[in-house]
Chain A
Amino acid sequence: MGDLFVLVISCIFINNILLAQYLGNCPFLGTSKKMETAIGMAMAVIFVLVLAGGLTWILNEYMLKPMDVVYLQTLSFILVIAALVQFVEMFLKKSIPALYGSLGIYLPLITTNCAVLGVCLINIKEEYTFIESLVTSFAYAAGFGLALVLFAGVRERILLARVPKPLQDVSIGLITAGIIAMTFMSFKGMV
């Protein structure tokens, strides 16, 4: 139990998927202009990543490894993620329309969010157990959400500031992300 707690803290803060492992930057810059979209994206990523983390672990352990085709990891994982996203979308549309209304437009974007495939591959590479994979998937996604929401808050303020022309938009966004990444660096050595 204690180990899992340490794992959660390290995945959220120390090895933050966005700011320390450089994954998922496209949605990070794309959906962070407004707080509302940032929260929607964060929830959608948490939802899909936990499912994808569990599924890809099962796939790797019980299909790829026994059949000795581990080199098909990339291909099979991305297909599982794409199918899963599609399935989740249809399921939500049918049974929980309210949730679909708020997450719907972010779901298709998640297939190409490299944080999702990245975390699934990290789970396999680090040889986590099934429970650990689920926990790290959740923690990484929560870390992604945290960084995204923090960043959206800062970015809403930047809209009001007078930024020099060449620095506008993505450029100032990246520099802001750098400063937020610096604050996350201070968590190093906590565990």
Chain B
Amino acid sequence: MALSLTKEFTKGLWAEIPPFRLVLGLCPTLAVTKSLENGIGMGIALTFVLVCSNLFISLLRNIIPSKVRIACFIVVVATFVTIVELLMQAYTYELFLTLGIFIPLIVVNCIPLGRAEAFAYKNGPLSSIADGLGLGIGYGLSLSALASVREILGNGTLTVWGGTPAFTMSPDFLPFKFLLTAPGAFVGLGLMLCLMNLIGKK
């Protein structure tokens, strides 16, 4: 039991890490990775939604009729997204403003819905939580990695939390502003995907 739980958890961190192995949730990956802080915030928000929706769908899996399951999944996911939205508005207002519409858009981010359909609807609550936690943290890590590269090279700083940079490059460093623009996001993610393919040949 404990062994299979660990397996469900760790697969999200490497073997099926989104958005590299499991190509879902690309939009926020591109949009919020201008600074590490945003990446971490988005990762936490998604992990919360994913764990809660996985748990609830797995508890309700015997009640939800399979014909209307997608609609039920959407309602469950949207409920938790609304909760996250309200929580962030109350406690981390600045972050809520920078992430903007990408918080409500977690509903259509595909990862919570995809996991509901592919995993939580077929498995028990404990392994569903492990699955959600693993994938959520994996997604957070991917976002943080991409965000760190973009922030350090594009802006010359690294902000972990709270808006003030924890680390600043020397003043001689010329920031590579291209990375902070939309094309930079696409190219950056493309190159990172390429790097992942190089390291982890299956």
Determine if chain A interacts with chain B. Answer: yes
Q: Known contacts A74-B78, A112-B113; is A122 also within 8 Å of B30 by CB? A: no
Would you give the shortest CB distance from A53 to chain B, in whole angstroms?
Answer: 14
Residue A191, interface by CB 8 Å: no
Cβ–Cβ contact A114 & B193, under 8 A: no
B interface, size bucket? 35 or more
Q: Which residues of A contact B182 (CB under 8 A)?
A: 19-20, 22, 181, 185
**Proximity bits, A62-86, B CB within 8 Å = 1, else 0:** 0000000001111100110010000
Assess whether A104 is interfacial by the CB under 8 Å rule.
Answer: no
B27 smallest CB distance to A (angstroms): 5
Whether the pair A78, B82 counts as a contact (CB closer than 8 A) is: no
Determine the distance from Cα of A122 to Cα of B23 in the docked complex, in whole angstroms. 25
Known interface pairs A74-B81, A113-B108, A114-B27; A170-B193 also in contact (CB < 8 Å): yes
- With A72-B82, A79-B75, A174-B186 as known contacts, state yes or no: A125 contacts B26, CB within 8 Å: no
Q: Which of A74, A165, A174, A177 contacts B85 (CB 8 A)?
A: A74
Q: Mask for A1-26, Cβ within 8 A of B = 1, else 0?
A: 00000000000000000011111111
**A178 touching B184, Cβ below 8 Å:** yes
Bound complex: CA A116 to CA B183 (Å):
22
Closest to B114 in A: A112
Q: Is the CB of B105 within 8 A of A114?
A: yes
Interface of B: prevailing SS: helix
Which A residues are CB-close (under 8 A) to B31? 21-23
**Can you add 20 more A-B contacts, CB < 8 Å, to A20-B182, A78-B74, A185-B181?**
A19-B183, A21-B31, A23-B27, A25-B26, A29-B23, A74-B82, A75-B75, A75-B78, A82-B70, A112-B113, A117-B107, A121-B101, A121-B105, A166-B197, A170-B193, A174-B193, A177-B186, A178-B187, A185-B182, A185-B183
A-B contact pairs, 13 of them (CB 8 A): A26-B24, A73-B104, A75-B79, A75-B82, A114-B105, A118-B101, A121-B101, A171-B190, A171-B191, A174-B186, A175-B191, A177-B190, A178-B184
Measured CB to CB, the residues of A under 8 A from B are 19-26, 29, 71-75, 78-79, 82, 111-114, 116-118, 121-122, 125, 165-168, 170-175, 177-179, 181-182, 185
